[in-house]
Homo-oligomer: A and B are copies of this chain.
Amino acid sequence: MEQANGRGADRPEMRWNGWGDPDRAKDLPLAVRGLLPLLLGRVPRPPRAPALDDVRVRPSRLTADDRDALAAVVGPDAVDVTTSVRLRHAGGRSTPDLLRRRHPEQDAPDAVAFPADHDAVRACLALAGERGIAVIPFGGGTSVVGALDPETGRHRAVVSLDLRRLSGLLHLDPLSGQATLAAGTTGPEAEALLGAQGFELGHFPQSFRYATIGGFAAARSSGQNSAGNGRFDAMVTGIRVATPTGDLDLGRAPGSAAGPDLVRLFLGSEGIFGVITEVRVRVHPVPTDRIFESWTFPDFDRGADALRRVVQQGAGPTVIRLSDEAETAVSLAQVGRIGKALAKGAGVVTVFEGEDAAGRRDRTAAILAAAGGRSAGTGDAEDWAAGRFDGPYLRDALLDAGVFCETLETATTWSNLRTLKEAVEAALRDGFDAADARSYIMCHVSHVYPTGASLYFTVLAGLRRDPLGAWALVKGKVNDAILANGGTISHHHAVGRDHAPWLAEEIGDTGMRILTAVKRELDPRGIMNPGAVLADVPIGTTV
């Protein structure tokens, strides 16, 4: 089912300098425009961003011979050095990425290659190794941690390897509930292909509409249905990988004690060891029942305690999420309704899908009610579900209005949740105060485990000058606070380049030595995504 030639599936292109479908970009809702000056003070509207064709990019450093050699591997139509295509592969979708996309002069990879299959990927890596060219694997382009920056490392050029032609459902084992998907398949493509056979993957991160199966694996993604379906880590039963020095085909059985689970070494590797080309995942029948219910708790702490009880008692919601008072107040959980009313307390959304949905709803509701929650009917939960992928559109409108908006996330144990939340909020607040900016900080819990939960923060700030520089300082303080207070530097956004300087503190020097040893073994020239995950680790030499 792979595309045999050309650029692959007829896939909608994301807005080059913002989120999603360009036709769906919209202005700020009137209510928000009224609310913002109250929260953040007045901020100047930034200069209009340049059009794609007006951006200046340095010429490609690939030689004609490089381009010919790449074309010999991937096909003559599958190497692109045009400015527009290079710019579309110049980074991910963090707020700093989008702010950089507003500059008249921008960085970009020297070319974009579109390999058609696993063998072409492997050949690209071999060629890049021989010629001393760095390679950035590119799935849906939705990284928010700088994993797609066109960094050359010690090499003379850098190529973005767009995996969109590795698309399709390669195998379905309906009895075992297992599917093999090509790594470049997007979330919607995967669900359409599986749905036609009666199955669902059920992985719905906010990036779902554009992100790819390989990206979910490489970044250790977690979706909004994680309470029911697990993190993407837990869905993966096998992977195929091309590295500069050899292939891997890992994951033979649903459970194994045949040495360490090497699949887990590639989940979260973000392209620094090689390219994931196929992913085998657990799938389940498309759910028929779907029950929505929202709840209100007096405050975040009571709500968090209720979520803990639900997951520790195995009540079985498919989705369960809790907004803190600040997020509940502006109804950010329901993008469509933002600003309509300043709700009180802490809101919880629950969704139940699949087998025994009604029974699981009843068991969950009993626990939530006993823990101090009040059912608020179905409306808010349905609104959340309807707008669940639309948050990033709002960010673009905020940036257009000069309002800084970014998200970050971490996780910790239940007993440490309040401490970590307060530490992150203090770091954010103090950081923006130092930049002389008013800020509004919201938080939600959207991924729960028996032993703990994630914390996802959304920040709005009235940064009046140098938002990139100001945010870099704030974000650094937040990372320090996370590590000093028992959190992980990322629950599901991954490391990329933005978190890389903090990884050593999380996994220790010996942990860094392990990752470096694996990278040296598989990628001795250091061509794979240099600077991502492992910052400042000298691997490879120029050729």
Contacts and interface: CB of A to CB of B under 8 A. Distances in A.
Interface of A: 173, 175-178, 219-222, 231, 233, 237, 243, 245-250, 252-262, 264-270, 282, 284, 308, 312-316, 354-356, 359, 363, 410-416, 447, 449-454, 486-495, 499, 503, 506-511, 513-518, 520-522, 533
Given A245-B513, A254-B412, 13 more contacts: A176-B452, A220-B256, A233-B261, A258-B489, A259-B269, A260-B264, A260-B268, A261-B264, A265-B265, A314-B354, A314-B356, A513-B521, A516-B521
Contact of A176 (B414, B447, B492): B414
Contacts of A237: 451
A255 B518 contact: no
A513 to B, nearest CB: 6
Contact of A259 (B233, B252, B268, B313): B268
A244 to B, nearest CB: 11
A258 B513 contact: no
10 smallest CB-CB distances across A and B, nearest first, come from A254-B449, A246-B510, A220-B257, A517-B521, A254-B452, A264-B264, A253-B488, A176-B413, A253-B411, A256-B488
A314 B513 CA distance: 40
Nearest to A493: B257
B268 A490 contact: no
A192 to B, nearest CB: 22
B264 A268 contact: no
A514 B521 contact: yes
Nearest to A453: B254
A270 B258 CA distance: 10
Given A176-B414, A503-B258, A513 B363 contact: no
A495 to B, nearest CB: 5
Contacts of A260: 264-269, 515
